Structure 1
Amino acid sequence: MALDETSARLTIHLSGNAVWHHKPAYAEIVHRARAQGMAGASVFHGIEGYGTHRMIHQDKPSRLRTHGPCAVVVVDAEERLRVFLDTLEDVLSVNGVAVLDRARIRMPAILSGQETP
């Protein structure tokens, strides 16, 4: 992803126990992102949160991965993320909310492949 493109961040909020075809939904999203060449994707498991049912979800740290709230964050060019989001309709039908917002990406020169002055 070139740094001068319009960069964006796609954040998908899920329940940590959301399943897609017998595997975690968050894992399916990350694998699809990699297969489609997205610049990067990360999964974050929350300590506490609530959703549409307004029930607070919190748990012991050892159980957060499977029961707590979860967010998958994917970064790339905005238009590429829009196309990618269209391919996630089946996974998001399980339970998920997607938020797409513009982002300014800053990377150390060594990671971006640019030389330092």
Structure 2
Amino acid sequence: MNIPEDAVQLRIFLGENDRCGHRPLYEAIVLKARELQLAGATVLRGPMGFGQSSRLHTAKLERLSEDMPFLVEIVDSKEKIEAFLPVLDGMVTASSSSVLVTWEGVKVLRYGKVS
């Protein structure tokens, strides 16, 4: 049995149209996380959601949104996530986007080959 390791899961809620320079913000975040050798990052596209504006974003055909909700999840040690936060802050500030970031402690179980 694997021993659970303490880690942190960072969740970044943003929109499909949020940009960082010439790239989508979600893509820029994942590429920067990879460059900084964080353990892993995943982008999820939501079929429906709303944020602080309460404007509904949905993929339903009768109201097709062009700014679908996206979620970037990053998992790593507390120290590496803390070091990443100022980088993320700079990217979000430069993009003039409105994002929501959450942080929670998680237990990580490793299965399979770990390289």
Q: TM-score, normalization: structure 1?
A: 0.82
* Equivalent of residue 112 in structure 1, options 93, 111, 114: 114
- Partner AA of 2:104 in structure 1: D
Q: Percent identity between the aligned chains?
A: 27
Q: 1:15·1:70 contact (CA, 8 Å) conserved in 2?
A: yes
Q: Counterpart in 1 of 2:101?
A: 98
Q: Counterpart in 2 of 1:82?
A: 82
Q: 1:59·1:67 contact (CA, 8 Å) conserved in 2?
A: no
Structure 1 distance, partners of 2:92, 2:39, is: 21
Q: How many residue pairs end up in the alignment?
A: 108
Structure 2 residue runs of 5 or longer lacking an equivalent are none
Point out 4+ residue stretches in structure 1 off by more than 6 angstroms: none
Q: RMSD of aligned C-alpha atoms?
A: 2.1
Q: 2:12·2:73 contact (CA, 8 Å) conserved in 1?
A: yes
1:52-107 deviation digits (Å, cap 9, x = unpaired): 0011110258x77x521000000000121011011111222322111111011122
Q: 2:10·2:74 contact (CA, 8 Å) conserved in 1?
A: yes
- Partner AA of 1:79 in structure 2: E
1:28 paired with 2:31, answer no
Q: Which of the pair is proportionally richer in strand?
A: 2
Q: 2:4·2:107 contact (CA, 8 Å) conserved in 1?
A: no
Q: TM-score, normalization: structure 2?
A: 0.83
